[in-house]
Amino acid sequence: MLKTQHNSWIQTGIAVIAIVLGFYLDISRVEWLFIIIATGLVLMAEIINTAIETMVDLLSPEKNEKAGRIKDLAAGSVLLASIMALAVGIIIFLPKLLAN
């Protein structure tokens, strides 16, 4: 995934930033759980999206409306997971950053 998907580099970079911020801001165990789950869900969604896109390309190499819809739905799951992870990050980190 990291070799072929540019977005996975961005997602991994943001995950590293969240981990560094977690240590810097000394977040609680419960907050760590939410950060780990949110980060894991985004990366899992990206892996599944990559697998689906690869399979669709293999099964339907020519342009196909239904194949495109399948790819869009898979990409949408990554977007939803990313938005949820962003919300978790804002809820956990923003009050701590504003307090510093």
Enzyme catalytic residues: 46
Euclidean distance between CA atoms 93 and 18, whole angstroms: 9
Measured at the CA of 97, the angle between CA 11 and CA 16, to 5 degrees, comes to 25
